[in-house]
Amino acid sequence: MQNRFRSSRNPKGMKVRIEKVNFAQKFSLFTEHYKPKIIGEVNDLHVKVVKLQGDFLWHHHDNEDELFLVVKGALRMRVREDGAERELLIMPGEFVIIPRGVEHLPSAEEETHVVLLEPKTTLNTGNVESQRTVRDLQHI
Ligand code: NI
């Protein structure tokens, strides 16, 4: 009877059991700011969580669009678009998509919890190499 249903497999072909994911539980596992962690994979995308506080840095991604979904706090996203700079305030329950090629600067006054959805090839600092560049992301 059990064999009537397929087992689930991850991208590497390993058998996995489907489990739900709780954002609060994932955010309880780390404290650092601007160090994204991987919490899931959807086809060629990573689902990540990151805590922000203070300014990140201006950068863009040549090939990747990035989605920022706010769970807690408030994200100030500065963007340079059509020859002008402006700021969007993203509140819990809201998200913003930054298209490839657009200069952006994430910033937060209070500690802000953000879920990221972006291609696996995405480097957090995009075209900029800095102390904040994280190459090998931890899976949590
Ligand atoms: Ni970015």
Parallel, antiparallel or unpaired: strands 15-16 and 66-72? unpaired
Domain ranges of the chain: 21-139
- Helix (DSSP H) and strand (DSSP E) numbers for the chain: 1, 10
State the distance from the centre of ligand 1 to the C-alpha of 86, rounded, in angstroms.
16
What span, in angstroms and rounded, lies between the C-alpha atoms of 98 and 60? 9
Q: What is the pLDDT of residue 2?
A: 58
Query: What's the whole-number mean pLDDT along residues 22-43?
Result: 96
As to burial, measured by CB atoms within 10 angstroms (0-12 exposed, 13-18 middle, 19+ buried), residue 50 is buried
The model's pLDDT over 46-59, given as tens digits with 9 standing for 90+, comes to 999 999 999 999 99
pLDDT at 5 over 90: no
Which residue type sits at 88? L
E strands, the chain, in order = 8-9, 15-16, 37-42, 45-55, 66-72, 75-81, 84-90, 95-98, 103-119, 138-139
Query: What's the whole-number mean pLDDT along residues 13-17?
Result: 86
Query: What's the whole-number mean pLDDT along residues 23-27?
Result: 97
State the distance from the centre of ligand 1 to the C-alpha of 6, rounded, in angstroms.
38
State the distance from the centre of ligand 1 to the C-alpha of 123, rounded, in angstroms.
8
The domain 21-139 having CATH identifier 2.60.120.10: the answer here is yes
Residues facing residue 115 across a β-bridge: 49, 69
Q: Is 138 helix (H, G, I), strand (E, B) or coil?
A: strand
Residues facing residue 107 across a β-bridge: 55, 76
Q: What is the pLDDT of residue 41?
A: 93
State the distance from the centre of ligand 1 to the C-alpha of 40, rounded, in angstroms.
19
State the distance from the centre of ligand 1 to the C-alpha of 15, rounded, in angstroms.
33
